[in-house]
Amino acid sequence: MTYALIIILAYLLGSIPSGLIVGKLFYGIDIRQHGSGNLGATNSFRTLGVKAGTVVIVADILKGTLATLLPKFFGVDESIHPLLIGLVAVIGHMFPIFAGFRGGKAVATSAGVLLAYVPLLFLFLVVVFIISLKICKYVSLSSMIAGIFAIIYALIRTFLTGDWPLLIVVTALASFVIYRHRTNLSRIKNKTEPKVKWL
């Protein structure tokens, strides 16, 4: 019963549509009707501005972090792996029950999962993302590159420590990120993908 409750709570946490809430509550804007139509932080930045985008990305990260810590909060972290619960939250973020099952692209919430489990990996990926963004100016491409580096890190850690759950979940998360950015790759190829101008 406890496990089922944790899974449901993780999904509901992931389903909280931060971008939709911030847009409607403070700006009277449904961001699904603007920009890319996505509920994630990138569209929030473009549609609502830096302050709102920052709030959304922090909220989306924390969703993944809190969900991953649920087994610890309930005292069952020895019998249910926290990464699996974090994965459920990411699924909730991508397919939120509170927003018609049309959610974000899994980047920030995945990062939050890693922040809870391997803070060093989270920091490493932030650096990779910023460097990549500085070079290419594409948020989508930088997100995918960070996902690939996450797999490489997980491979090395698994080889050294036998942390197979990390490798499995990171591979799943990176796959989500890359698959959900597939249309962005087409736009990059056609040179129609927006570039960031502030970095």
Tell me what pLDDT residue 194 has: 87
Contacts 24+ apart (CB under 8 A), 1-8: 2/74, 2/76, 3/76, 3/80, 5/74, 6/70, 6/71, 6/74, 6/76, 6/80, 6/85, 7/85, 7/88
Q: pLDDT tens digits for 127-167? A: 999 999 999 999 999 999 999 999 999 999 999 999 999 99
pLDDT at 199 over 70: no
Q: How many domains does the chain have?
A: 1
173, part of any domain: yes
44, part of any domain: yes
Q: In which domain, by residue range, is 165 found?
A: 2-189
Q: What is the rounded CA–CA span in Å between residue 127 and residue 123?
A: 6
198, part of any domain: no
Q: pLDDT tens digits for 44-56? A: 988 898 899 999 9
